[in-house]
Structure 1
Amino acid sequence: MDTFAPDRLELNRRLPLWYQISQSLRACILGRSPEAPLRLPTERRLAEHYDVSVLTVRQALKELEEEGLISRHRRRGTFIEAAAVRSRRSGPVRVLGSVDAIVAQQSVDAARLLAHGTGPVPPELACHFPGLTEVGVYRRLRSDEATGEPVNWAENFVRPEPAARIDPADLERWPMTRVLRDAVGVRIARITDTVEARLADAETAGLLAVPVGSPVLLCTGVSYDEAGTVVDVARIRYRGDRFSFSVTVEM
């Protein structure tokens, strides 16, 4: 295919359609592989793709053009500005396969503890905490130390036994992985990370200072001890314009 193909999007009719489409295209453009085509489909094809009017697509493209991510040329078409895309990407979070590497990566940002205590196990996480109804719950906001700009916010759900030994003050100095390992004494054997693309809900948008519906990356990290028991489940929402994820596999 000689044009860039955006992902499918389930539109929320309660939000401006042009804005959702601009954010969908923006996320796809920033996440495109280097070998992907630079040319976007025509306005009519995009309108068919998203099931909206051409005028709605035109308004979405105007937003991206003003941001410098695309350029539009009469009779030639609409093209991704590759140099502008490269300049918007910064500081990839790298999952390198060791707990030490994850701790080092997480330690870059300043953290502020928003809330802590006990709470019910979320239904979608019940499979990780069989037999438990409550866990320790911690919510933190991480910001760039140089600029103070929020970059991600994290929820941690921790098994009650280690949660009872956590000093909340440590969570403003260290990432949860380091607190559990070095302060609490949990022998973490492995961490499984899953990364998904999402759109920011009202809470995430407020914490990360981005518009509702902006692209975010949701990273779910499950930490296991040496017995194979889940100790902590972290759900971290990263600003989509600040981070990408790469995985290195060493043979």
Structure 2
Amino acid sequence: MTTFAPDSLALNRKLPLWYQVSQSLRASILGRSPEAPLRLPTEDALALHYGVSVLTMRQALKELETEGLISRHRRRGTFIEPSAQRGAPVRLLGSVDAIVAQQSGMRTELLEHGPTPIPPELAEFYPELTEVTAYRRLRSDEETGEPTNHAWNYVHPDIAAAIDPSDLLRWPMTKVLRDAVGVRISRITDTVEARLADPETARLLDIPLLSPILHYTGVSYDEDGRAVDVARIHYRGDRFSFTVTLEA
């Protein structure tokens, strides 16, 4: 039987070897092509491939087994779980057009919208206001119907007055602000951090409580430097990754 071929890895001796190997193999598994075989090479072959001991390799494989990415069977070998797959990545992009493209392509449900007090942690973006207009949406994969992210947008009330809520069912907020409302967005500041799903997020995204999620905050500014929208989005951690490319 043909076995799966993982990517190579340049090891950093300052980090635990088992962790580096597990993350490299994890990325190879999640990024594999649909035609790739499911059977992994033996522990000895993998240890030789990565240049580590069999004990280190065994620890790395145990980590992936705990995650549910592989299953190990005595005498039969180690196999990738068919359900192990990566969703669309969340990427750091350089233009508003690129950000709009990143946010498109999902089925959107508008859960609620209306005036709301500014959350204390967002007050710095709207220092002159006590209230904004909030929009809450749930996005799902168009093919499978699986929920992928839960989004809140806190929009400046002057801007929100011109928003047609039905536009948010087919367009991302950034596109609505720019193309439907006519806001001249000058920049968007993004922050991404790892969190654990609270009860409401876990329910909406159909994941276990305290599952890992990616928490995204995006602040859009107009040409006058005024914040016009603060987006807070919870992405399922098992369907998204965050990639940054830096030119050296």
TM-score normalized with structure 2 length: 0.72
What pairs with 1:185-224 in structure 2 (closer than 5 Å)?
A: 185-224=182-221
What pairs with 1:109-148 in structure 2 (closer than 5 Å)?
A: 109-148=106-145
Secondary structure class of the residue paired with 2:168: helix
Following TM superposition, by how much is the alpha carbon of 1:245 offset from its aligned partner in structure 2, in angstroms?
1.4
Question: Which among 143, 158, 162 is matched to residue 159 of structure 2?
Answer: 162
Amino acid corresponding to residue 117 of structure 1 in structure 2 = G
Q: Report Cα offsets for 1:86-128 as digits up to 9, x if no partner.
A: 9522321222210000101111111110000010111001111
Q: Who is 1:174 aligned against? A: 171
Q: Is the 8 A contact 1:30 1:241 kept in 2?
A: no
Q: Is the 8 A contact 1:97 1:248 kept in 2?
A: no
Secondary structure class of the residue paired with 1:197: strand
Q: Which moved more, 1:93-102 or 1:176-185?
A: 93-102
Change (3 A) 1:214 1:189: same
Q: Who is 1:2 aligned against? A: 17
Following TM superposition, by how much is the alpha carbon of 1:249 offset from its aligned partner in structure 2, in angstroms?
5.0
Which structure has the larger Rg over C-alpha atoms?
2
- Give the aligned CA root-mean-square deviation in angstroms: 3.6
Amino acid corresponding to residue 196 of structure 1 in structure 2 = E
Amino acid corresponding to residue 151 of structure 1 in structure 2 = T
**Gapped regions of structure 2 (runs ≥ 5):** 1-15, 32-49
Cα distance in structure 1, aligned partners of 2:65 and 2:230: 40
Amino acid corresponding to residue 161 of structure 1 in structure 2 = D
Q: Report Cα offsets for 1:171-216 as digits up to 9, x if no partner.
A: 1111000010011110001111111111111000110011101111
Give the share of equivalent positions with the same residue, in percent.
58
Amino acid corresponding to residue 228 of structure 1 in structure 2 = G
Following TM superposition, by how much is the alpha carbon of 1:69 offset from its aligned partner in structure 2, in angstroms?
3.5
Secondary structure class of the residue paired with 1:204: helix
What pairs with 1:90-109 in structure 2 (closer than 5 Å)?
A: 90-109=87-106
Report the number of matched residues: 208
Change (3 A) 1:151 1:222: same
TM-score normalized with structure 1 length: 0.71
Q: Who is 2:70 aligned against? A: 69
Cα distance in structure 2, aligned partners of 1:94 and 1:62: 27
Change (3 A) 1:85 1:235: farther
Following TM superposition, by how much is the alpha carbon of 1:71 offset from its aligned partner in structure 2, in angstroms?
4.6
